[in-house]
Amino acid sequence: MYLEITMLAYFVVLFLTLRDIRIFKRTGYRSYRKGAIKGLMASTVILIGAMIVKAKPDLGLLLALIGLFINRKGIRERVFTDAGTFDRFIGKTDYVKRR
């Protein structure tokens, strides 16, 4: 059961990281780049916790929790104005950067 919890946390953080990467590529806002980098660090910590969870469940879940705290993003620019729920979910922004 502990492995499933840590892997769920890993996939959620990985999904949010990919969403941040997509928003950064579309808008060019640095806060989303910073969020993507934090997400990569957090997913690494959670993956290490998932590898440890079989031997020491307490330590593995603690590393997963630490990874979730690392993943906190902070204040971001508004990139969604008229987007629906699904568009926000996949990271489709209303704003596109100019070249």
6-62 pLDDT per residue, tens: 999 999 999 999 999 998 988 888 999 999 999 999 999 999 999 999 999 999 999
Q: How many domains does the chain have?
A: 1
In-domain check, residue 43: yes
- For 87-97, the pLDDT digits (tens) are 888 888 777 77
Cα gap 86→90, rounded to integer Å: 6
Task: Kindly report each contact of residues 87-93 with a partner whose C-beta sits within 8 Å and lies 24 or more positions away, as own/partner.
Answer: 90/19, 90/22, 91/18, 91/19, 91/20, 91/22, 91/23, 91/26, 93/23, 93/26, 93/27
Q: Residue 41 belongs to what domain range?
A: 2-73
In-domain check, residue 11: yes
In-domain check, residue 92: no
In-domain check, residue 85: no
In this predicted structure, the answer to whether residue 98 has a pLDDT above a threshold of 70 is no
In-domain check, residue 40: yes
Cα gap 98→67, rounded to integer Å: 34
Least confident of 38-42, 67-71, 81-85, 95-99: 95-99
In-domain check, residue 82: no
Q: In the structure encoding, which two tokens stand for residue 53, read together? A: 């969870």
In-domain check, residue 86: no
In-domain check, residue 37: yes
Output the pLDDT for position 45.
97
Enter the pTM of the model. Answer: 0.85
Question: For residue 8, how many other CB atoms are within 10 A of its CB?
Answer: 13
